């Protein structure tokens, strides 16, 4: 249990710092590209990791450290929600809708694509006899 907690703390710290760096790099842009980027990339990465795990036995602390910690710290639902409210006051309904649609539907599509790629990558490694 302590390994799981430490893995989540460590993964969360890395994910949060990565998200913060991207936020700083895109901070002066009126449209929240940083949040959209981290949520789409995080969805893809978590999907790929999940697809890869479907055929692998990985220690629990690695799963929670990467999934809950790193990906959870990297992605951000709360900032997406705040961005939507800020956009609706500073922009048009069309821009706000595009952002919300891109975030939700794009996140689902990226997660699904990652899942397929991760699962496929895992099968290739199993077929060639490579170990994880």
pLDDT tens for each residue of 15-65: 999 999 999 999 878 899 999 999 999 999 999 999 999 888 899 999 999
- Cβ–Cβ contacts within 10 Å for residue 86, how many? 14
> Which whole-number Å values give the CA distances from 10 to 6, 24, 69, in the listed order?
6, 21, 7
Taking only the tens place, the pLDDT of each residue in 52-109 is 998 888 999 999 999 999 999 999 999 999 999 999 999 899 999 999 999 999 999 9
State the total domains in the chain.
1
Query: Apex CA 12: angle with CA 22 and CA 116, to 5°?
Result: 80
Q: What pLDDT score does 28 carry? A: 74
Domain that holds residue 33: 2-128
**pTM reported for the whole predicted model:** 0.88
With contact defined as beta carbons under 8 Å apart, do 7 and 61 qualify?
A: yes
> How many whole angstroms separate alpha carbon 42 and alpha carbon 74?
7
């Amino acid at each position: 249990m302590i390994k799981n907690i430490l893995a989540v703390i460590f993964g969360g710290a890395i994910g949060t710092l990565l998200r913060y760096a991207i936020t700083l790099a895109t901070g002066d842009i009126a449209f929240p590209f940083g949040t959209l980027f981290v949520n789409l990339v995080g969805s893809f990465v978590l999907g790929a990791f999940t697809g890869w795990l479907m055929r692998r036995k990985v220690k629990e602390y690695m799963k929670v450290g990467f999934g809950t910690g790193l990906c959870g710290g990297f992605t951000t639902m709360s900032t997406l929600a705040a961005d939507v409210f800020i956009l609706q006051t500073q922009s048009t309904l069309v821009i706000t809708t595009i952002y919300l649609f891109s975030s939700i539907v794009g996140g689902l599509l990226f997660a699904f694509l990652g899942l397929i790629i991760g699962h496929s990558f895992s099968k290739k490694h199993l077929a060639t006899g490579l170990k994880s």
